[in-house]
Structure 1
Amino acid sequence: MTSPTHGPGRATPDRADVIDKGLARVNVWGIRLIVGTIALYILGWIIGHTWVVWFPIALALVLSTLLAPPATFLRKRGFPSALAAVVVMLGFLGSIALTVYLLAPQVAGQSNDIADSAVTGVGEVRTWLQEGPLQISDGQITSAFETVQDELAARASDISAGVVTGITTITNILINLVLMLLLTFFFIKDGHRFLPWVSAIGGQRVGGHFVEVISRAWNTLGGFIRTQALVSFIDALFIGIGLVIIGVPLAIPLAILTFFAGFIPIVGAISAGAIAVLVALVTNGPTDALIVLVLIIAVQQIEGNLLSPWLQGKSMNLHAGIVLMSVTAGSTIFGITGAFLAVPVAAIVAEVFRYLNESVDREVAAAAPLQDSHGAEGPDGPAGANPALPDDVPHTRDRKTPAELRGEPDPNA
């Protein structure tokens, strides 16, 4: 007994064969998923245990995206690579030193007034505790201070250990800062030689893919830094204007602090805002401090939930939801550093996937079989109407029949 057919010479497959084929594909993709997950875990484990090396490199790459364009500009004007890098680095460090120099007199001139206001504020707080709704007696306040002093004395050893740990942390920060600056210098000095080297090492076929992916990742990282600088500037501008209107001292230094703190997600904004509220509290009183707190919360909420996701998603071609989720995941897994690097890493990964998708589309278009000349319908319409075919592949409508090649009239005409 012959099996039923589904077209000339084709047997209808049995249901068991179809299910077996489907399960085989599930098994294959399951194994691939497991192997990929293990590979990612091993990669993450290696990066986590060598993060002390990768951290200054990552920071240097981020800084290089800002300093590489002016170095390239000087190099195209005839400057040697080393001289262009030195000029750009000196200009960068000089701009920071100039900013500190211009702000130092203002900070020093108002520091004594702020200190006096702080002492007065502490006295007012003590008076409010005694005469306000809490009605705390002077003896209770003194007892509370004595309790705090005794607790501090009892934990003197822990505090000393914490000071040592803090000194170690500061030392590590300084070492990473020096490494970052040195690596930045080398990146902007010799970075233009990296892509040709990658192309030569990878060969004619693979090297081109590497160069394209690295170029896209570099442009994405630069877009992130420029966008973050714009967001930080907008935050600092509106907060600075608010502080000036309220009459808070050190409004300009606090605005500049807000700008630089904007590059450190979560902690930077909280720290800069807390300092601004504290200054307003000890100089202008609790009412103005509350107004400053509302102002900072409003600006940061607009920036964090609307402005930053929209600008970053637009500049890096990422959806705002992906930006928010990447920051959440990065901060949860790697803390502050992860929150700062999460968005550019997500954008770079997205660029890699886009390039792979484009490569797959090109391969599919190049390997697409030519439609037969009998007017068979394809997925994109009639034969010869497939726009995915490359220009160097002749379309079906341009191919002649055997009769036409012999000079005879087409019998199908």
Structure 2
Amino acid sequence: MFKSKLQFWTFELLMIALFIYVCTKISFVFEPVAVFISTLFFPIFVSGFLYFLFQPIVSFLVNRKVPKGLAILTLYVVFIGLIAAIIGVVGPALSRQITDLVHNIPSYVEEARQFIDRLSHSRGFTWIVEQEYVSLDQLEDSILNYASTLPTNLKNSISSVFSVVTNITLIIVTVPFVLFYMLKDGQKLPKRILPFVPSSYRKEALRMMKETANTLATYIQGQVLVCLFVGITTFIGYLIIDLPYALILAIIGAITNIIPYVGPFIGAAPALIVGLLYSPTKPLFVLLVIVIVQQLDGNVISPLVIGKKLNTHPLTIIILLLVAGNIAGILGMILAIPTYAVTKTIVFNIVRVVRVRRS
């Protein structure tokens, strides 16, 4: 039918382009599927995260002759008790800091306004204006436009908050049930999948699924330990330098540390701003704390708990973060590295199997 490979691949590309074009014209057909997937994504995502985190504990209890159902329920009780204890200890201090921060926001805004006012009368700013890099008329128009759209933005923000609260409630209600059955029957999943794989490839498929699960478990368990280390040591460092809102800022630093390379900078920004509002030299001490913590993390903790199993080049990670962040924001940056690691594991296993079959 095709006289050359060029004709064949040209036809293939045209068919793919036609298929994509047709899909864009009937996108309404896929909307229920998109809603279904988006509804289930976060409960399953959170349950999967907790599954890889808790599975070693359940396996440990089962190996000690504890029935699996009882082991899972024991884990639930201990976990809920631990969360309640942490909230009881940390909650009051965190609540006080948040209340104090909200109370002081107007004064911070006034200080920022005065700083901007002083900056606008500085020589540097005047020189920039004279160079026509910034037009005062354009700057004034931008401020007025932002002020005119502020009520609409606030309304949208309130709607977003209600949506987030609803989603969080849904996750809290559904995750315990989904996680229970994952922990109870998760090890049966590979055996349920194998019948759909050709018999000659079942051994390789089982190995691929085990390596993929090990990769995810290594990454998730390691990141949780690393974030705990970063949060605790950063909090201690902020207390030593007497940085206000140390607990809030340390929690932000621990959470953002999940994002490789970029996360520490994101987590450091609020601490630097708060330090700058209190003292011109305070940001230097904040940077010192962050550098020490990141050096300990990068040279001691991360190699110890995660090791070289992911084996991903830093340039690859940066490119993945840029692309994923542009596509899906912060969530994309968080999921980029484990998704890449799992995909790489699957591809390497497929290539290995193909090479073995050809040899």
Please point out which of 304, 309, 320 is paired with 1:326.
320
Asked if 1:243 corresponds to 2:238, the answer is yes
1:75 offset after TM fit, Å?
1.7
1:315 offset after TM fit, Å?
2.1
CA distance in 2, matches of 1:166, 1:25: 55
| Partner in structure 2 of residue 193 of structure 1 | 188
Ranges in structure 2 where 5+ consecutive residues have no aligned partner: 123-142
Ranges in structure 1 where 5+ consecutive residues have no aligned partner: 1-20, 136-147, 366-413
CA distance in 2, matches of 1:42, 1:264: 37
1:337–1:253: structure 2 CA closer, same or farther, 3 Å change rule?
A: closer
1:178 offset after TM fit, Å?
3.6
1:210 offset after TM fit, Å?
3.0
| Partner in structure 1 of residue 347 of structure 2 | 353
TM-score where L is the length of structure 2 = 0.69
Tell me the alpha carbon deviations over residues 71-114 of structure 1, each in whole angstroms, 9 at most, x when there is no partner.
11112222222222222233333333322221123345666776
1:133–1:328: structure 2 CA closer, same or farther, 3 Å change rule?
A: closer
1:271 offset after TM fit, Å?
6.2
Structure of greater relative contact order (alpha carbons < 8 Å, 6+ residues apart): 2
| Partner in structure 2 of residue 341 of structure 1 | 335
Verify the 8 A CA contact 2:55 2:183 in the aligned structure 1.
Answer: yes
Q: How does 1:370-409 map to 2 (within 5 A)?
A: none
Percent identity of equivalent pairs: 25
Which structure's CA Rg is the greater one? 1
1:219 offset after TM fit, Å?
0.8
Verify the 8 A CA contact 2:72 2:183 in the aligned structure 1.
Answer: yes
Please point out which of 162, 165, 169 is paired with 1:167.
162
Aligned pair count reads 328
How much is the aligned-residue C-alpha RMSD, in angstroms? 4.7
| Partner in structure 1 of residue 70 of structure 2 | 83
Equivalent residue letter for 1:183? V
1:62–1:115: structure 2 CA closer, same or farther, 3 Å change rule?
A: closer
CA distance in 1, matches of 2:149, 2:198: 67
CA distance in 2, matches of 1:158, 1:124: 24
| Partner in structure 2 of residue 51 of structure 1 | 38
Higher helix share: 2
Asked if 1:103 corresponds to 2:90, the answer is yes
CA distance in 2, matches of 1:313, 1:154: 49
Verify the 8 A CA contact 1:84 1:189 in the aligned structure 2.
Answer: no
Verify the 8 A CA contact 2:219 2:306 in the aligned structure 1.
Answer: yes
1:346 offset after TM fit, Å?
1.1
1:209–1:191: structure 2 CA closer, same or farther, 3 Å change rule?
A: same
Instruction: Give the secondary-structure state (helix, strand or coil) at the position aligned to 1:315.
Output: coil
1:339 offset after TM fit, Å?
1.4
Instruction: Give the secondary-structure state (helix, strand or coil) at the position aligned to 1:90.
Output: helix
Instruction: Give the secondary-structure state (helix, strand or coil) at the position aligned to 1:99.
Output: helix
1:202–1:232: structure 2 CA closer, same or farther, 3 Å change rule?
A: same
| Partner in structure 2 of residue 74 of structure 1 | 61
Verify the 8 A CA contact 1:201 1:207 in the aligned structure 2.
Answer: no
1:237–1:159: structure 2 CA closer, same or farther, 3 Å change rule?
A: closer
Please point out which of 189, 202, 211 is paired with 2:206.
211
